[in-house]
A = this chain, B = another copy of it.
Amino acid sequence: MNTIGLVAFALVGATKAIREEFDMFGVTVVGLATAFAGGMARDILVNRVPLALNSPIEIGLGLFGVGLAIGVSAALKSADTHLVTLLSDAIGLAAFTTTGAIVATQADIPAFGVVAIATINAAGGGAVADILLDRSPFILLDDFYASCAVLGGSTYWIVATAGGSNGTAAAVCAAVVVGTRIAALIYGWSIPTAQVLGLTRE
């Protein structure tokens, strides 16, 4: 799970940085930050030592994703909004939501915390990448992205609490995230703003 997520998110982050004309060092840093920031935030929140820096294999996977991003950017126009990148992103989102939910459940964190940590693990990398690219994290604007992680994390918790095995919970969680994310892309789902809901005066 984690392996897929690392490669997919490094690919997505590096592709965005290439589009913004960051230099190759910056591209590598944004790619690695996208891949690792969510997991590090999770580790700090559940009080584990962030292990990524101790793991040459994980770093290698991140660098592999950055390499893929360079290849994809060379091969495709508008690589950062291409189907390949969007699918990688959906898969990475699912992989990290599941990893986050598993780690939080093992750390004996209650329901809300499991969902929050799964969401932070999944969406944190993208949010950090956006801050490095000097824009508001897109997940907070009108989109249906982190919400997929919220749904997936909730599903994991429900299945695990209902007595499902970890494997079952993980599989259902990943399926929910990928499914809702792809549906959101196809049908253009978004969460309304207070303005759209008529909840503001101006």
Chain A residues in contact with chain B, CB under 8 A? 17-18, 20-27, 29-30, 44-45, 47, 49-50, 53-54, 56, 59, 70, 73-79, 109-113, 116-117, 131-137, 139-143, 146-147, 150, 190-195, 197, 199-202
Give the residue of B53, B77, B140 whose beta carbon is less than 8 angstroms from that of A202. Answer: B77
Give the residue of B53, B117, B197, B201 whose beta carbon is less than 8 angstroms from that of A76. Answer: B201
Tell which of A78, A110, A141, A193 has the most Cβ of chain B within 10 Å.
Answer: A193
- Tallying the copies of this chain within the complex gives 3
Residue of B nearest to A33 (CB): B140
The 9 closest A-B pairs by CB, nearest first: A26-B140, A23-B191, A134-B136, A53-B113, A18-B194, A23-B142, A74-B199, A47-B49, A25-B191
